[in-house]
């Protein structure tokens, strides 16, 4: 699963990296973004097709829900196109979540060892996600779930799942292609895309934040 990530990018950095048009919401950089928090998400405007940056709640509430109830933070790539929870969103409401790194916890004795994963080339990660709009008593809540897939050969020793990462060249397909075509993007990231390193357990607590959360414990790297 993907249950925590970092996005300390400024609004201007996200504008440039994702070609954002129009106004953007206030955004406070964070190195420890957790579920049930408002998150900067890139969506395509249905009329202009411009990319917009909005704040959405992490934890999807489908538009048919009677209450907030379950709020899944992840959607499995294997079933996102067919699941009753996600298929409508996958059909017409795909989005991207900007991040500079994501965290996973390695199985073992408590406290489990957290690892950080980021692109080797230093570019922001574009995490595949789907979003929904839910109305209750006149108020509208927009929320999302990150799509995950099986881990690649370089990361599965840490965790069996990883977020789907959409490469720059595939963004138009992700936003605009029919589901049957977009499904081809739901694959593990190439082994050479990511680097990984151990970080301290301060990241385990949602209240902790700051760039030190990404400081390596040592010069550990996954062997490719």
Quote the DSSP letter at residue 184.
Answer: G
Taking the C-alpha atoms of residue 164 and residue 96, their distance in angstroms, rounded to an integer, is 10
Per-residue pLDDT, 219: 60
Domains of the chain are 5-100+122-151+162-192 (3.90.1680.10)
Q: Is residue 177 within 8 Å of 138, Cβ to Cβ?
A: no
pLDDT tens-place string over residues 103-140: 999 988 888 999 999 999 999 999 999 999 998 878 89
The residues, any chain, with a CB within 8 Å of residue 42's CB and separated by 6 or more, are: 14, 18, 20, 51, 52, 53, 95, 96, 97, 98, 126
pLDDT tens-place string over residues 32-71: 999 999 999 999 987 778 999 999 999 999 988 888 878 9
Question: 175: closest CA among 98, 95, 97?
Answer: 95
User: Model's pTM, two decimal places?
Assistant: 0.94
């Amino acid at each position: 699963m993907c249950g925590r990530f970092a996005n300390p990018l400024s609004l201007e950095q996200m504008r440039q990296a994702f070609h954002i048009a129009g106004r953007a919401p206030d955004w406070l950089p964070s190195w420890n973004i957790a579920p049930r928090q408002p998150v900067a998400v890139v969506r395509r405007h249905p009329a202009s097709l411009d990319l917009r940056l909005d704040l959405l709640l992490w934890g999807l509430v489908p538009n048919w829900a009677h209450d907030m109830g379950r709020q899944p933070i992840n959607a499995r790539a294997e079933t996102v196109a067919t699941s009753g929870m996600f298929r409508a969103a996958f059909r017409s409401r795909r989005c991207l979540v900007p991040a500079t790194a994501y965290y996973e916890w390695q199985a073992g004795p408590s406290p489990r060892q957290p690892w950080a994963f980021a692109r080797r080339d230093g570019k922001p990660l574009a995490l595949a996600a789907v979003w929904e709009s839910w109305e209750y008593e006149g108020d509208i809540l927009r929320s999302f779930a990150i799509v995950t897939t099986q881990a690649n050969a370089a990361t599965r020793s840490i965790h069996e799942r990883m977020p789907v990462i959409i490469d720059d060249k595939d963004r138009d397909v992700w936003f605009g292609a029919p589901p049957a075509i977009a499904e081809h993007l739901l694959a593990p990231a190439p082994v050479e895309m990511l680097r990984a390193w151990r970080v301290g357990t301060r990241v385990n607590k949602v209240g902790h934040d700051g760039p030190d959360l990404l400081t390596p414990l040592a010069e550990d790297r996954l062997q490719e």
